[in-house]
């Protein structure tokens, strides 16, 4: 996963519209990755439970 470059943090009021769009896109992508990881962890847990029952 690509890391966001380290920059001096600006408040939302100081950021340009383009910077806000980039930050939003980054956060949406990060959120999607975290949701997928959670989904995979839950699926793994379900498989382990199902395997134990058999």
Residue 25 lies in a domain: yes
* Mean pLDDT, residues 6-21: 84
Q: Is residue 12 part of a domain?
A: no
Q: Looking at the domain assignment, is residue 47 inside a domain?
A: yes
- In-domain check, residue 29: yes
Residue 1 covered by a domain: no
What is the DSSP code string of 21-54?
HHHHHHHHHHHHHHHHHHHHHHHHHHHHHHHHH-
* Residues of the chain above pLDDT 70, percent: 85
pTM: 0.68
**Cα–Cα distance for residue pair 46/53, rounded to 1 Å:** 11
Instruction: Work out how many domains the chain is built from and give that number.
Output: 1
* Residues spanned by the domain of 21: 17-53
Instruction: Average the pLDDT over 21-32 and give the result.
Output: 96
Calculate mean pLDDT across residues 2-6. 63
Q: What's the chain's average pLDDT?
A: 89
Q: In terms of Cα–Cα distance, which of 13, 12, 14, 34 is closest to 23?
A: 12
- What pLDDT, on a 0 to 100 scale, did the predictor assign at position 25? 96
User: Which pLDDT score is estimated for 8?
Assistant: 65
């Amino acid at each position: 996963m690509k890391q966001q470059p380290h920059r001096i943090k600006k408040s939302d009021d100081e950021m340009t519209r383009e910077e806000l769009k980039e930050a939003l896109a980054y956060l949406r992508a990060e959120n999607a990755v975290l949701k997928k990881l959670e989904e995979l962890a839950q699926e793994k847990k379900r498989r382990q439970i199902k395997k134990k029952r058999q």
